[in-house]
Structure 1
Amino acid sequence: MKRNLLAIAIPALLVAAGANASIEVWNKDGNKVDFYGRVKAANNITDRGQDGEGDDTSARLGMSGQTQITDSVTGYGRWEYEAKAGKNSNNEVRYAFAGLNFGDAGSFDYGRNDGVLKAITAYTDVLPQFGGDAANNAWNVLSARTKAVATYRNNNFFGLTDDVSFAVQYADNGDNSNSADSIRGGSREAYGANAQWHIFDTGLTAGAGYAQSTSKDHRHSTWTGGLKYDNYNLYLGANYFQSKLKRRVDLESAVTGEILKTLDQKVRGFELVAQYGIDLEVGRLTPSIAYVQHKVKVDSAHFEDDWYYYHYRGVNSPLAKYVSVGATYDLNKNFSAIVEYKFNLLDRKDIGAANNTKVQRDRHLNKPGTKDVLGVGLIYQF
């Protein structure tokens, strides 16, 4: 009986992931409700023409709850809201889902939740201020927070071992991002899965995942693999992904009418991070260093007949490329100070530089998207 209760309680508590010091406001007769929140006062100091420059202050408030239905079944839910308080005042419901946990048989939930690949890309999404490039973007399938997702998880492989976990997910017209997916042209249904192996008691975890989205004109797939080591105050994380998008291009010929051609677009990337926690007389200091590189490749294509000629030159250009050096100083479990310097390695001709440029400074195309960034901030959380 105790073993079954643990199998129910542990996954349900994971619903409150990200809440480092939640406040329990109700715990009676098998019902439990926790509230958690965070206020982050931060600023990104860089060229004023670069995207993301300036105030990055935000506040989050969330709730997680669970209710005991039977000895082996627990209901749970989570809701989280974020309000931007800086120059970007957009608000967002980050999470809103509910589900049932069946102990060793796993759990099932539905709503707005993390894409199934984020469990793997999160291995390197641990930087003090920046990072998360592989986890939050429009070119990976089911890696960002996604609406309308049904997810089945099993955290102990049907009670056989706590070292193996897996998840499968279906997105009913999920958006896979915080805004419209700029690559796939809008929301589309998708499905994916992941598996993780916590390698005995070594502190090493290996994970992999695959997700795919299809429609009449698109076939978009992503696979990713990662490793992380978390033991003896040392954290090491590595992640590699590849996304492939096949798009049907319709070109109208003056003679034959419609011409159909498929363009292949690939995005490959890897991320590496290392951190080490140092206990001080007051608090804990965690220095961090990371390297991130993502590159897009689009093959060239030719379309022609007697009346029509079209040529598209291929591209092979970085989307993101930087070295990060920073630190987090946790004064206690509720208050932290962060600092991070991003050495931007993009060239002005790179696609990533154009994407990072908000305001062009001069006619020579010296894009501000190539500038370094210093991020500083204070975080209060409960």
Structure 2
Amino acid sequence: MKRSSLVLALTALLASTSVGAAEIYNSSGNKLDLNGRINAGRVLSNDDSNNVDASYARLGFKGETVLGESFTGYGQWQYQFQLNKSEGSDAVSGDKTRLGFAGLKYGKWGSIDYGRNYGLVYDVLAWTDMLPKFGGDSGNTDVFLSGRATGVATWRNNNFFGLVKGLNIALQYEGKNDRTGDVAVRRSNGDGYATSVSWTGDSGFGVSGTYANLGRTETQNRASYGKGERAEHWATAVKYDADQIYLAAMYGNTHNATPISGGFANKAVNFEAVAQYQFLNGLRPSLAYVSSRGKDIENKGEADIFKYISAGTYYYFNKNFMVYAEYKFNLLKKTNPLGLSSDDVTGLGVNYQF
């Protein structure tokens, strides 16, 4: 049956978890959009380390300027403010720059930019990082291009030079970040690269793949876990996103690149799957399974790094305001070799975004 234009409009409005930014300037080939979010949330668990206020605010902008025919300059910046701290505690606030990069785009040849941006491994991991509160565990910030990363040069080309609709490719290089202090092991990296490719058809079906290979620092190789001159990460994913249905699954392997307490797993096998349905009244229930199995861990052998089932939902009042709830059924054993928490966790929140 052919749906009415009203139903189609509601589907388009509610089926996306993102919203358009607020345009604050657009004149003479120059454009500036402002975007932001306030998330008032709480995480609840019998484990005190997971029983916290998770509130934050984000503010950012996207800008572009026309430099010539089919030639554009652009930039983006985003900052996060933690809302779970007392006044006067800025020295240990946890506030952070999430994104900050600038670049050039030229017609069918694509774009190239440099700065703090998402690593290309996350191009694939993002397909299953769709849960109301949790999820995305296979990607990590400042860890071998599997999340947001510093000092990355990224080239992207959509629709393969205008020849194949839906076929997108990308290449990325990251320079060495040899950090010190408490984050020297967890957030350092040597020089390296990543690549990603994806194809999404008009039917909503898509496939994607990524590979990253980066050097490791001397400090990382002196850590308790994880040995090797290079860190590798490959992953592939499939999705279906149409008719108010969202289904996605991701499978990948890492070598010396999945963090554990005291270093990195020599090898890890990651799997994530998510299913969601967008009701036209704004309700979007979600069900997911997320796991990572570490192998060849010194003196530990094999061990689950994370493993859980997620059940939750969003409720969109409109494109700018929604509430969410999610329950994480933790499948880790109480006597797991890595000493990780085995308690279930609940996430609740209210979100306003523009």
- Taking structure 1 as the reference length, the TM-score comes to 0.78
**8 A Cα contact 1:208 1:226, kept in partner:** yes
* Structure 1 unaligned spans of 5+: 1-16, 247-262, 300-311, 356-368
Distance 2:285 2:72 in 1: 39
How many residues matched? 315
Distance 2:325 2:284 in 1: 11
For residue 224 of structure 2, what is the aligned residue in structure 1? Answer: none
Distance 2:126 2:158 in 1: 17
Distance 1:74 1:97 in 2: 14
Distance 1:134 1:111 in 2: 23
For residue 278 of structure 2, what is the aligned residue in structure 1? Answer: 277
For residue 118 of structure 1, what is the aligned residue in structure 2? Answer: 122
1:146 correspondence with 2:149 = yes
For residue 101 of structure 1, what is the aligned residue in structure 2? Answer: 105
**8 A Cα contact 1:149 1:174, kept in partner:** no
Q: What is the CA distance between 1:315 and its match in structure 2?
A: 1.6
For residue 315 of structure 1, what is the aligned residue in structure 2? Answer: 301
For residue 55 of structure 1, what is the aligned residue in structure 2? Answer: 53
Shift of the 18–335 alpha-carbon distance from structure 1 to 2, 3 Å rule, reads: closer
Instruction: Please list the CA deviations of residues 37-87 of structure 1 after superposition, one character each: whole Å capped at 9, or x if unmatched.
Output: 0000000111143x3321000000010001000011000100000011115
Aligned amino acid, residue 198 of structure 2? Q
- Pick from 249, 259, 284 the counterpart of residue 238 of structure 1: 249
Q: What is the CA distance between 1:210 and its match in structure 2?
A: 0.2
Distance 2:290 2:194 in 1: 24
Distance 1:150 1:143 in 2: 15
Aligned amino acid, residue 229 of structure 1? Y
- Pick from 197, 222, 226 the counterpart of residue 195 of structure 1: 197
Instruction: Please list the CA deviations of residues 98-147 of structure 1 after superposition, one character each: whole Å capped at 9, or x if unmatched.
Output: 00001101100000000011010001001001111012267x63111000
Q: What is the CA distance between 1:156 and its match in structure 2?
A: 1.3
Q: Which 4+ stretches in 1 moved above 6 angstroms?
A: none
For residue 377 of structure 1, what is the aligned residue in structure 2? Answer: 349
**Matched residue SS, 2:254:** strand
Aligned amino acid, residue 203 of structure 2? T
1:163 correspondence with 2:166 = yes
Q: What is the CA distance between 1:182 and its match in structure 2?
A: 3.4
Instruction: Please list the CA deviations of residues 237-294 of structure 1 after superposition, one character each: whole Å capped at 9, or x if unmatched.
Output: 1111100129xxxxxxxxxxxxxxxx981011100000000012xxx11000000110
For residue 320 of structure 2, what is the aligned residue in structure 1? Answer: 334
Q: What is the CA distance between 1:351 and its match in structure 2?
A: 4.8
**Matched residue SS, 1:278:** coil
Aligned amino acid, residue 96 of structure 2? E
Query: Once superposed, what is the RMSD of the aligned Cα atoms?
Result: 2.3
For residue 362 of structure 1, what is the aligned residue in structure 2? Answer: none
- Quick one: percent identity of the two aligned structures? 38
Q: How does 1:52-91 map to 2 (within 5 A)?
A: 52-87=50-85, 89-91=93-95
For residue 325 of structure 1, what is the aligned residue in structure 2? Answer: 311
For residue 350 of structure 1, what is the aligned residue in structure 2? Answer: 336
For residue 38 of structure 2, what is the aligned residue in structure 1? Answer: 39
**8 A Cα contact 1:181 1:187, kept in partner:** no
Distance 1:130 1:351 in 2: 23
For residue 188 of structure 2, what is the aligned residue in structure 1? Answer: 186
**8 A Cα contact 2:151 2:175, kept in partner:** yes
Aligned amino acid, residue 320 of structure 1? F
Distance 1:180 1:30 in 2: 42
Distance 1:228 1:152 in 2: 24
Shift of the 214–319 alpha-carbon distance from structure 1 to 2, 3 Å rule, reads: same
Distance 1:129 1:169 in 2: 29
> Structure 1 residues 58-67 or 79-88, which shifts more?
79-88
Distance 1:58 1:175 in 2: 29
**8 A Cα contact 1:108 1:153, kept in partner:** yes
Distance 1:316 1:181 in 2: 25
Aligned amino acid, residue 133 of structure 1? D
Shift of the 75–347 alpha-carbon distance from structure 1 to 2, 3 Å rule, reads: same
**8 A Cα contact 2:144 2:189, kept in partner:** no
**8 A Cα contact 2:324 2:349, kept in partner:** yes
Aligned amino acid, residue 109 of structure 1? D
> Structure 1 residues 32-41 or 215-224, which shifts more?
215-224
